[in-house]
Amino acid sequence: MRANRTSILLATLLVFLTACGTIEVKIIYPTPPGPRYQSIPLGTAANAESNFASPPMGDMVLGGVPFQLSEQVFKSQASSIPDADYPTSILLQTDVPYAQKLHLLINTGNGFTQFDGQTIGQIIVTCDDTEVPVADLSLGQNIREWQLAHNVIYTASRAQQVWVGARADQPHLEGHIDLLSLDLSAVCQEGTLTAIEIIDTSVETVGSLDPALNLFGVTVECQQ
């Protein structure tokens, strides 16, 4: 009975619309949701000055990715004092469901030419109690020195420069910050990211405290 009534109403509506002339029908499709970003503060793990005269601070968008930056950055061990006493890794606790990508503002310190092409670090995440290797950091490929000098590796094919500023020690010279974006595995994309660890492996891989890692910011891109 209800189906007959619906058919009669539709037929009546069709006759009315036909009588009124041509009616333009516009179908509006919902816009797919975009990515969501969660900035991960370095917190107490930040242990050093950035070496920039006026470093980027606060909430900033670099390379299209929002970051939460502080005056202090994380630096790993290096042969020079006081960097020789710095830790070899940074561990950040997180709680990010459906994590899709990891965005790092990262460069090296003392990334000398003798270490070109060598692995000097590693990135590991934990998702749903599972440790997942994300990437090795290879000097000249996905990471490079933060400053220009004659004896350092200052190009890297996968590193995207997103900020430039004067050096604190020599304001007439500039340094830079690079963005490294990494895809996360299915276990993270379908589960929950609970930890990010960035490790300086230079002692094991190249037999030197150099190069060091300079980490400025961390952001996780996740599905809404």
Q: What is the mean pLDDT of residues 26-34?
A: 61
Distance CA 121, CA 140 (A): 12
Sorting pLDDT into bands at 50, 70 and 90, what band is 27? low
Distance CA 2, CA 177 (A): 67
Distance CA 141, CA 127 (A): 26
CATH topology of domain 36-222: Jelly Rolls (2.60.120)
Summarize pLDDT for 121-130 with one digit per residue, the tens: 999 999 999 9
| DSSP letter string, 59-72 | EEEETTEEEEE-SE
Instruction: Say what the pLDDT of residue 81 is.
Output: 85
pLDDT above 80 (res 105)? yes
Instruction: Say what the pLDDT of residue 14 is.
Output: 39
Q: Where are the domains of the chain?
A: 36-222
Summarize pLDDT for 132-187 with one digit per residue, the tens: 999 999 999 999 999 998 899 999 999 999 999 999 999 999 999 999 999 999 99
- pLDDT > 90: percent of the chain: 81
pLDDT above 90 (res 16)? no
Instruction: Report residue 134: phi and psi, to 5°.
Output: -105, -50
